Amino acid sequence: MNLNNVIYVKSILNRRDTPQLPLPEVVILGRSNVGKSSLINTVLQRRNLARTSSTPGKTRLINYFLIDQQLYLVDLPGYGYIKKKDPLSEKWEHLLGDFLLKNRRIKLVLVLIDSRHPELPADSYSISWLIRNRIPFVLVLTKYDKLSKRDSTLLKKKIESVYPQVKVIPFSAKDRTGREDIVDLLQQSISCN
Ligand SMILES: Nc1nc2c(ncn2[C@@H]2O[C@H](COP(=O)(O)OP(=O)(O)O)[C@@H](O)[C@H]2O)c(=O)[nH]1
Ligand SMILES: [Mg+2]
């Protein structure tokens, strides 16, 4: 799969408007500002691909990118925009949950967690929700460059002990730590149909 061959497809509000092609999907989930757009741009080596589709007003939308006519990379709305006060609201479950549960083409969810705030209730909630619903996911620790060497090692160990069965990928859009790991996951997700 050629990661340089990528196009922005569309932004949708409703699951019914998902693109027509029956391709596998890798979905990106996380709070607003956690680094979703930056991850997409870093992994696909495009400076402004993700931002183009997340201009103000489009933040509640589900953004679709098509890689080499083979895989959709899907940028979900950040939790913060769905409900500001209570991320554990029924609304989250309704909007994102509906999308995640009823979309059988999802191969993997990348759950983005800010390395500096690894224990936010909203993130723990999403993780237990994914486990409960048996949706495959990995944890991506974003902004890893912001931690000291010591803190980053401690954090990775800690996350791995809290979620022993889960793959954990330290990631930085700044120094591109973890990019190759995510590229590998994208490649794998098209080969295991
Ligand atoms: N230092 C650093 N900053 C980052 C990283 N990823 C994102 N940011 C910054 O965090 C802010 C939010 O990133 P963005 O990708 O827009 O988050 P989104 O709302 O989840 O799409 C921006 O100011 C980014 O420049 C990273 O890996 N390292
Ligand atoms: Mg964004």
Q: What is the pLDDT of residues 117-141, one digit of tens each?
A: 988 888 888 898 899 999 999 999 9
pLDDT of residue 88: 45
Q: Residue 66 forms beta bridges with which residues? A: 7, 72
| Residue 176 pLDDT > 50 | yes
Pocket test of ligand 1: the residue of 29, 34, 38, 58 to mutate, having most ligand atoms within 8 Å of its CB, is 38
Task: Judge residue 32's burial from the number of C-beta atoms within 10 Å of its C-beta, 0-12 exposed, 13-18 middle, 19 or more buried.
Answer: middle
| Residue 53 pLDDT > 60 | no
State in Å: Cα 171 to ligand 1 middle.
Answer: 11
CA–CA separation, 67 and 7 (whole Å)? 7
CA distances, 9 to each of 62, 80, 141 (Å) = 11, 24, 27
Index of the ligand 1 atom closest to the CA of residue 32: 19
CA–CA separation, 30 and 60 (whole Å)? 13
pLDDT of residue 52: 47
CA–CA separation, 192 and 119 (whole Å)? 32
CA–CA separation, 183 and 185 (whole Å)? 5
pLDDT of residue 102: 86
Q: What confidence category does residue 192 fall into, taking pLDDT thresholds of 50, 70 and 90?
A: low
CA–CA separation, 118 and 10 (whole Å)? 31
Q: What is the pLDDT of residues 4-49, one digit of tens each?
A: 999 999 988 887 888 988 999 999 999 888 999 999 999 999 988 8
| Residue 60 pLDDT > 80 | no
Query: Any residues with CB less than 8 A from the CB of 128 and at least 6 apart, and which?
Result: none
| Residue 182 pLDDT > 50 | yes
State in Å: Cα 105 to ligand 2 middle.
Answer: 22
Q: What is the pLDDT of residues 61-115, one digit of tens each?
A: 889 999 999 999 999 887 765 544 554 455 666 777 888 888 889 999 999 999 9
Index of the ligand 1 atom closest to the CA of residue 51: 16
Q: Is 130 helix (H, G, I), strand (E, B) or coil?
A: helix
| Ranges of H-type helices in 117-178 | 121-132, 149-162
* 173-177 mean pLDDT: 97
pLDDT of residue 3: 95
pLDDT of residue 93: 61
